[in-house]
Chain A
Amino acid sequence: MTVHHHLDDASIMRYASGDFDEAFAVVVASHLAMCPEGREAVRAAESLGGAVLEASEGTPLSAGAFDRLSRMLDVEPEAPPPPEPVSGDVPLPLSRLIGDNLHDVPWRTIVPGMQRHRIDIASTTSSLYMLKVAPGKKMPEHGHGGAEMTLILEGSYSDVFGRFAAGDIADLDEHVEHEPIVDSDVDCICLIASEHPTRFKGLISRILQPFIGI
């Protein structure tokens, strides 16, 4: 898999500092699971975190801090379970939430040619969901109410920014408007984190929004 669309550098820094909420962390981590170049980019940003830590003054610890810890050192917990194999096309961070098969999730049709699966997370600031859109279909035209990230898991779409295929991430800020059209032979399945409910622009879309909830 060759990934052509990557994270914005500001998002790489944000991920490295640990500041994304759960929805965005899952989308970014799933992208990174599919993109070695992205992992390298994140590691560079994390090395900056390491340098900041090293350069900091620190606060003296209370007396006996190491002794307290050293009592724990001989208690070896059972060996950590080996990382679960990633079967199918589901990246590890996402497979924890939906299982190992993209097609097995409980899809709900929201309009003909478009299905959605909302993923339950505790996050209060953003929502996380998957969309499955049929070939040739347009996603509804929308401007973004807040930051949004879309990771392509299968199939592809095109919009003004180019063609997005599996592993590609569309890391868009709130001012962007786009109109993706699915251009693959198969359904395009994406994972989306969205900061606020997306505002659809067309009247029909606005009327539909409360019902389809994206």
Chain B
Amino acid sequence: MLSVLRTDMPIENPDPAADQDYLKALMVEVATSRDKASFEILFDRFGPRIKGMMEKSGASSDLAEDLVQDVMLTVWRKAELYRPDKGAVSTWIYTVARNARIDRLRRLPAQPYIDVETLMVASEDESPEAEAIGSQQGDLVRSALEKLPSEQRQVVEMAFAEYKPHSEIARDLDLPIGTVKSRLRLAYRKLREELEDLG
């Protein structure tokens, strides 16, 4: 069945920082010029990953495809809300996908999350650390993730990619919930330290 699948998944720029800048430039093109060619490149990059994230979160293949359509349509329509100085493209697309996951997989209101994002876009207060998270260093988060000890990275992936509640992660790994929480705290603090070093 491979012939019916899109096989032209684009290759990432091997230089992570340049790759991040490239994604940002595409997103800005979409926002300012409504450029469909740039949007298609973003779609090819993130569509399959969103589908994978939805499937790992429990969606059927059909629902996952639907959700890719929803999420990417929101990315297109709300493109002007993306602020290149405030975060990597992947962070923004992740939050749009997360909100769709809350809404469509959990059937819970995503409005509280959307409200907070609205306030984030509106607020101008920026610390050096927020700048670091935002601007050039999106690649740094990726490398911080890769540097995590495997037991921490595992719980991070189960929470973010598989959408597992902490209690379910604890059950799956046969760990006390306190251990799951402390691994998540450690992973988070490690990331903050790396970002603070830049700030």
Interface residues of A, Cβ cutoff 8 Å to B: 8-10, 12-14, 16-19, 21-22, 25-26, 28-30, 32-33, 36, 39-63, 65-66, 68-70, 72-73, 76-77, 80, 83, 92-93, 96, 122-123
Contacts and interface: CB of A to CB of B under 8 A. Distances in A.
28 contacts: A9-B185, A10-B181, A13-B185, A13-B187, A14-B166, A19-B166, A25-B112, A33-B119, A47-B191, A48-B145, A49-B98, A50-B90, A53-B50, A54-B142, A56-B161, A58-B9, A59-B51, A62-B4, A63-B3, A65-B68, A66-B6, A66-B40, A66-B44, A69-B69, A69-B73, A93-B111, A93-B112, A96-B115
Contact of B48 (A8, A18, A28, A59): A59
A62 B5 contact: yes
Nearest to A175: B178
Given A14-B159, A18-B113, A29-B113, A58 B51 contact: yes
Interface in B178-199: 181-182, 184-185, 187-189, 191-192, 195
A76 B46 CA distance: 22
Query: Which secondary structure dominates chain B's binding surface?
Result: helix
Given A47-B141, A60-B48, A65-B6, A26 B187 contact: no
Contact of A62 (B65, B93, B108, B187): B65
A186 B3 CA distance: 70
A53 B187 contact: no
Given A18-B101, A54-B49, 9 more contacts: A18-B113, A22-B112, A40-B127, A44-B133, A59-B51, A60-B5, A61-B68, A65-B65, A66-B40
Given A17-B159, A53-B46, A92 B118 contact: yes
Interface residues of B, number: 89
A73 B133 contact: no
B63 interface: no
A152 B163 CA distance: 29
Contact of B36 (A42, A56, A63, A73): A73
Contacts of A93: 111-112, 115-116
Contact of B141 (A14, A48, A96): A48
Contact of B88 (A22, A40, A47, A58): A47
Contacts of B165: 19
Contacts, number: 229
B198 to A, nearest CB: 12
A53 B133 contact: no
A121 to B, nearest CB: 8
A36 B123 contact: yes
Contacts of B161: 52-53, 56
Interface in B112-131: 112-113, 115-116, 118-120, 122-123, 125, 127, 129-130
Contacts of A76: 77
A52 B55 CA distance: 15
Interface in B57-112: 61, 64-65, 68-69, 72-73, 76-78, 86-95, 97-99, 101-102, 106, 108-112
